[in-house]
Every structure is written in C-alpha cells, then in structure tokens.
Amino acid sequence: MTLLALRGISREVGLPDGGVLPILTRVDLEVAAGEHVAIVGRSGSGKSTLLNILGLLDSPTGGEYLLDGEPTGALRARRRARLRGEVFGFVFQQFNLLPRRTAEENVAAPLLYARGRDYLRRRRTARELLDRVGLGARADIVPERLSGGEQQRVAIARALVRSPRVVLADEPTGALDVETGAQVMALLAEAAAEGGAALVTITHDLNVARLADRRYRLDAGRLTPLAEPAPTAVVPAPAAAPLEEALP
Amino acid sequence: MIPVLATLAEAWSEVRVHRARVVLSLVGVFLAVFAMTTVTALGLLVAQVQQEQGERMGGRSATIGVTAYDPQTGMPPDPQEWDAAVADLTERYGITTTASIGYEETRFRLPGGTQAVQTKRVSPSYGQLHRVEPIEGRWLREGDRDSLAPAVVVNEAFLAALGVPDLSARPTVVIGGGDPVRAVVVGVVREGYGEELLAYRVDRSAGPWDAPGVADPSAMAFGPSTLELWVRPEQADEVMAVVSHDLGLALGGVQVDAYRSDSQGLEETLGMLRLAIRGAGVVVLVLGGLGVLNIGLVTVRQRIREIGVRRSFGATSSRVFSAIMLESVCATFLAGLAAVALSVVLVRNLPLDQLLNSGIPLAETPAFPVAAAVEGLVAATAVGALAGLLPAVIAVRARVIDAIRF
C-alpha cells in the first residue's frame, strides 16, 4: 500500500534578480509502508529539499504530495505539524541532539508533543528505546560525553520513539567513520523494519544505498531510478565510496 | 490538559538546563522586585509609625481641640458651667469619645530635691485618643480618680530622676505643696527630649488629694485647658463650627476656639513618597526586564537549530511561542518569588519600633502587606511575559529548514 506519493513535484525559489531557480523538477516517487528507499545525489542536487517536502517541513511549488492518499497541499500549519510528529521520525547527519539534556531526555523529547498515555509514559518509553539501540546504560549521559556513533544511536532511538510510519534519514552515517557508520545504518534499517516503518535515506555512500529496497539518483532536481543490484548482506566497506565516483 | 502540562514541563526544563544564563539574566528583575516589594511594605509600616506618632501628638483622625477662656481675664470658664455645656453638646451631637487636657507644674519630691515637673492633667480617654502605649506599666484609668493615692504616668527621665530602674518595686513619689500626698507611679512612657521630666495625672478626681470640680489655678500657666472631641473625619468641619457656636452661646462671653488638632495631609505626603520610590522601582524593573530581553534575544538566536529540531518533532508555532514565553515567565516568576520571600524575611525581622518609633511599641504592628507581595509577583510575571514576547516571535518566525539544515 502506498504511504507517500509525490506526483510531478517541483520546487522553485525566487532569485534577487527576479529570476527563478528550480530545485526540484517534476519528481515522482512512491514509498510503500515498511519499504526502504535510498536517494543518492551530489551536494546541491535538491536532496534536502526533497526530504523537507516529504517530512512536511517545506511545501512544493508545483505538483501534488499525497500522504495516505490524501493531498497535503491544503493542510493547515497546525495539522502539518501534528502529522509531522505522528507520521515521521527524523535522523540528521549532525545528530541534532539537544545539548545538555541526557540521552533519555533527548529520546523522550518528541513525546512532549504527544498526547495522553504516550506523553505520561515518555521516560519509560525512552528507556526502552535506548535499551533497543544498546544504550540503556548510557541513558543519563549528556550528548557532549557520547561518541559520534552513540550520539547517532540516540538520534535513531529518538526518531523511533513515537513509532513513526516513515523514518527520514539525512546522511545518517555522514559524520561517522566507515565501520561505525555501517553499524549505525544496519541498526537504523533493522529498527525501522522492526517497527514496520518505511525508511527513506539520503546518502552519498553507495554502500549505504545498497541496503535499500529501491534506489534513486537525484541530479539537478530530477529523480531517476538507480540501477544497481542490492547486496545480500551488510558488508562494512573499507573506505567510503563517494557518490561522486559512481555518478557520471 | 496534557499540552499545557507539556508546555510547562518544556519551559521548566529549559530554565533548568540554562540555569546559569537564567540566573544571570534575572539579577535585575530580582533586585527590582525586591526593592519594589520592600519599599511598598516598608512604606505601609512607616505610614503606620508616622500615623501613630502624629496621633500621639495631636490625636487620632479627626480630633477637634476646643479651648475656652475669658478674653478679659484669660481665665478658664467656671468648671460646673463648662462641664454642663460640654455634656449637653456631646449628647446633642452623639460624640462618644472626649478627653480633657490641662497643663500644670507639679512639685515632685525627688531624691535630688523637689523639682517642678511639667504635668499633663488628662482624662483617661486621652490614652485612647492619642494612642499612648506605655513601655512599662499601664496608662491611667477611670478608677484612678477614686484612688487614695494619685496615680502618675512618667517618662523615662523622671524614672531615672526617681532613682529606680523599673516599676517592679512599685515606686512612689511625693507630690509636694500645701497638702503633700504620695503618688504611685503606674506607667512609663517614652516621651520628652533629653533629661526633660514629664508626668501625666488624671484631670480631676474625687480623691482626698484633689478637690473635685475645682479648676487648678496654675492650669493656665502653659495655656488654656483643652477639650478634645473624637469625631468622624467627614464631620470635622461641621463639628468645629457648631462647637464654637454652641459653647460660646452656652457659656456667654467666653471665647471658644475649635480646631483640628490631629495631623492632616500626612497620608498625602507619605503617598507621594511611596509613589516616588515605587517609580524608581518600576524604572529598575524595566531595566531588569531589558536585561532579560537582551539575553533572551541572544539565546533564541543560538537556539534556532534546537527550535528547528523541535519543529521536526511536531511542535506547532503556538507551542514554540508559548514554550519560549513560558520559559521567560517561569524564570522571572521564580525570581519574583525569591525576591518577595527575601523581602518578607527582611521586613518581618526589622526592629521597626526601634528604628522608626524610638523603641515605643507600635499600637498596631501591620502584617506584611499581602498586596505588596502579590504586586511584586505580578510585576515579575509581567516583565517575564513582555521580555519573552520578542524572542518568542523570533523563534516562531525562524525557517525550520534553515534551522535544521539537513
């Protein structure tokens, strides 16, 4: 069943000289529940804009974005914010953990915007998620005292704490060494799959992209399928294979 | 309910996490609220002290002093005629509290020799009308008129001249003159300047030591005897007019003067003083608020990324706005609470009767004014709300995608 559907999505920004800069051009993409999709592209190719639109953080200037078959274009800001919290979990390249809050407080933070039982049980839920990512013993540590890999695991736990239906990951291994990156990516894919969440990953790293069910390339705002066989197992690469080498 | 709780929890968490910054930004607010609350409370207490001091001198509001004398001889009217005219007047106008005051020099036999002491001959109701609070012993009462030994209330200098430290030994003193009598010192008041000796006795008595109803020939030595009438302030002008008129008619040919003897305009003066000090407090509060605003503005710019992350969690604009506002309000409310608490502790522990009232116990020590405390808290909260407004608007208007930078 299709969860997210982009139909002819365009995004343009105005320039100071009155011109228009196209960021995305007629992008079509469908993501089904529980599916893992990877999007690779150079810097400036529009990956972040695409992820912003998917996560309801930005709106397209053309085309239609359907969430659960419902158009999102006419949604009020309040409803968009609520959907963003309920449907999506975000994993950022720079982790974006809240400074000076413990790992547990960071993981529990999205539940501050939940209601009822979810809000009231937020600390217990956060502990459970930290246990799931192997950081139960580090729950009371602030991010400044965690390694990069640990911080990203906290970020993954945080992204999953509201049981999202889609996890949007932006370069989730970009700030990690190769081995740690592979472990974190495997954890993210596994945790998302466990929760039945679709995973949309943006990456430069083809090894990361290989984990996905479907892969796309974004080039100058145009999205095209990336034909490459998926590996059967996660193999940490000896060194990052930058996308720039693989792209024409 | 949950969103409100969650917003408060979020705001409190921010205050806790950024406590060093919060504390620094709140110094101004704390000092301003402390100053405002303390000044307001002290203002009320000083007003009470001033009022009591004024009332000790001129009587409570409104006291009408009445003097009567023959313009030809300067002598007071015949006591029987005077008493009858006054009784008729008070009954006619329903005046329930009156006091009489006469002045004389009484010759007391003290250890250092006989000494003429300025003595006020007053009716016991003088104590009520002038809020006399003895620092030791008691004030004169009606029963003292029939006492075989006259009762006297003296000041501390008198007691020292008598050579006794306090009233525990029930000291007595002989009133000299043609018919000496031993008087009992029943109370001590704190009055007079330096070594000046003062004494109070009942105005007229039925005792064997004082011929009843006889005007003391020395009573005019320090001015005419005075009748005091305690009336409602709004009636004062009317009473003054009718008293002069009616007593003048009743006594025939006697000059009757009626005037306000209680302090007037004191409240206005104190009100102006309080207003000026509170004005200064408001200026300090505004400056403190600017400090909070300044730090709030700097901080919110540093926290744009964090706010963006919270938006990705589903925080609505109103939620971000109220969280930033509440953060500021929580902080200034706590600063206000601490300031008010310190103010209460300070004011409650100040020896106000020593500092302001020459050690005389206050007849009515006012409690810490609740209005001052509430006012301080409201001012702190309002400053927090105002100072949080601009940072909250900036936080809401920040572009989430720029803040997060995927």
CA–CA gap between residue B36 and residue B280 (Å, rounded): 8
Burial of B40 (0-12, 13-18, 19+ CB in 10 A): buried
Q: Which CATH class is domain A2-246?
A: alpha beta
A238 has a chain B CB within 8 A of its CB: no
Query: Which amino acid, one-letter code, is at B88?
Result: D
Hey, are the CB atoms on B314 and A55 less than 8 Å from each other?
no
Identify which of A126, A125, A112, A85 has the alpha carbon closest to the alpha carbon of residue B7: A112
Separation in Å, CA of A20 to nearest CA in chain B: 19
Q: What is the pLDDT of residues B110-161, one digit of tens each?
A: 999 999 999 988 889 989 888 888 999 999 998 888 888 899 999 999 999 9
Please state, as a whole number, how many other Cβ atoms lie within 10 Å of the Cβ of residue A225: 9
Q: Which of A52, A77, A78 sits opposite B406 (nearest CB)?
A: A52
What Å distances lie between residue B35 and A80, A150, B289, B366, CA to CA?
47, 50, 14, 19
CA distance readout (Å), B379 to B14, B29, B278: 22, 9, 12
Flag whether residue B316 sits within 8 Å of chain A, measured between CB atoms. Answer: yes
Chain A neighbors of B318, CB-CB under 8 A? 78
Write out chain B residues lying below 8 Å of A115, CB-based. Answer: 2-3
Comparison of pLDDT for A166 and B18, the residue scoring more: A166
Three-state secondary-structure class, residue B377: helix
What's the whole-number mean pLDDT along residues B331-345? 90
CB A180 within 8 A of CB A149: yes
Contact B141, B126 (CB under 8 A): no
Strands B151-155 and B63-69: unpaired
Q: For residue range A160-180, what is the model confidence (pLDDT) as tens digits?
A: 999 999 999 988 888 788 888
Choosing among A94, A113, A170, which should be mutated to test the B contact, i.e. which has the most B CBs within 10 A?
A: A113
> For residue B128, what pLDDT is reported?
87
Contacts of B272 (CB under 8 A, 6+ apart): none
pLDDT at B219 exceeding the cut of 50? no
Q: Who's near B216: CB < 8 A, 6+ residues apart?
A: B102, B104, B121
The two beta strands, B151-155 and B181-189, are: parallel
CA distances from B309 to A158, A192, A230, B288 (A): 11, 20, 32, 31
> What is residue B246's predicted lDDT score, i.e. its pLDDT?
87
Q: Do the chains contact at A113 and B319, CB–CB below 8 Å?
A: yes
A92/B306 touch (CB, cutoff 8 Å), yes or no: no
Contacts of A44 in chain B (CB under 8 A): none
Residue of A nearest to B314 (CA): A85
For residue A73 the two structure tokens come to 């274009």
* Rounded CA separation B379/B156 (Å): 46
Q: CB-CB: which of B9, B18, B401 is closest to A112?
A: B9
Domain boundary assignment for chain A: 2-246
| B49-60 mean pLDDT | 76
Please report, in angstroms and rounded to a whole number, the separation of the first and last CA atoms in chain B. 34
pLDDT class of B69 with cuts at 50, 70, 90: confident
SS3 A234: coil
Residue with tokens 């139960």: A136
Whether a cis peptide bond, with omega within 30° of 0, leads into B62 is yes
pLDDT in tens, A7-57: 999 999 989 888 899 999 999 999 999 999 999 988 888 888 899 999 999
Beta strands B97-110 and B226-230 are antiparallel
Q: Is B174 a residue whose pLDDT tops 90? A: yes
Residue of B nearest to A83 (CA): B314
User: pLDDT tens across B255-314, in order?
Assistant: 888 888 877 766 677 778 777 777 777 787 788 788 888 888 888 887 888 888 999 998
- Residues B76, B67: Cα–Cα separation, whole Å: 9
> According to the model, what pLDDT value does residue A235 have?
44
Residues in chain A within 8 Å Cβ distance of B12 = none
- Is the model more confident about B180 or about B22? B180
Is residue B134 within 8 Å of B187, Cβ to Cβ? yes
Contact (CB, 8 A) for A66 and A72 = yes
Residues of chain B in contact with residue A77, where contact means CB-CB under 8 angstroms, are 316-317
SS3 B345: helix
Beta-carbon separation of B312 and A58 below 8 A: no
Largest distance between two CA atoms of chain B: 110
Of the candidates A85, A131, A144, the residue with the CA atom closest to the CA atom of residue A111: A85
Residue B330 has pLDDT above 90, yes or no: no
Give the pLDDT score at B220. Answer: 44
In chain B, which among 181-240 make CB contacts under 8 A with chain A? none
What is the reported pLDDT for A243?
40
Which band of pLDDT confidence, cut at 50, 70 and 90, is reported for residue B54?
A: confident
Asked if A86 lies within 8 A of B318 by C-beta distance, the reply is no
Q: A95 pLDDT exceeds 90? A: no
Range name among A105-109, B225-229, B379-383 with the lowest pLDDT average? B225-229
Cβ of residue A247 closer than 8 Å to a chain B Cβ: no
DSSP string spanning B251-284?
HSS-EEEEEE-S--SHHHHHHHHHHHHHHHHHHH
Instruction: Give just the sign of the alpha carbon dihedral B132, B133, B134, B140.
Output: positive
Residue A113 has its nearest CB partner, among B306, B314, B405, at B314
Given the cut 0.85, state whether the ipTM is greater than it: no
Please tell me if residue A90 touches chain B, with a CB cutoff of 8 Å.
Answer: yes
| Mean pLDDT score of chain A | 86
pLDDT one-digit tens code per residue, A220-236:
899 999 875 545 444 44
Q: What is the DSSP string of A18-72?
A: S-EEEEEEEEEEEEETT-EEEEEE-TTSSHHHHHHHHTTSS--SEEEEEETTEE-
Contact A51, A168 (CB under 8 A): yes
Does position A198 have pLDDT exceeding 60, yes or no? yes
pLDDT of residue B38: 84
Tokens found for residue A61: 């200037």
A174: DSSP letter: T
As a whole number of angstroms, the distance between CA A143 and CA A175 comes to: 15
Indicate yes or no: CB of B316 within 8 angstroms of CB of A78.
Answer: yes
Contacts of B392 (CB under 8 A, 6+ apart): B300, B320, B321, B322, B324, B325, B328
Closest A-chain CA to B309? A96
Map out the domains of chain B as residue ranges.
Answer: 2-56+266-404, 60-95+231-261, 99-229
Q: Which of residues 61-80 of A touch B (CB under 8 A)?
A: 77-78
pLDDT at A96 over 60: yes
Name the minimum distance, in Å, from the CA of B268 to any CA of chain A. Answer: 54
Does B1 touch chain A if contact means CB atoms closer than 8 Å? no
Q: Of the given ranges (B184-193, B194-203, B215-224), which has the lowest mean pLDDT?
A: B215-224
Nearest to B36 by CA among B325, B382, B397: B382
Residue of A nearest to B401 (CA): A57
DSSP H helical ranges for chain A? 47-54, 77-87, 103-108, 116-120, 122-132, 148-160, 178-194, 206-209, 243-246
Tokens read off for A210: 């290989």
- Min Cα separation B382/chain A (Å): 26
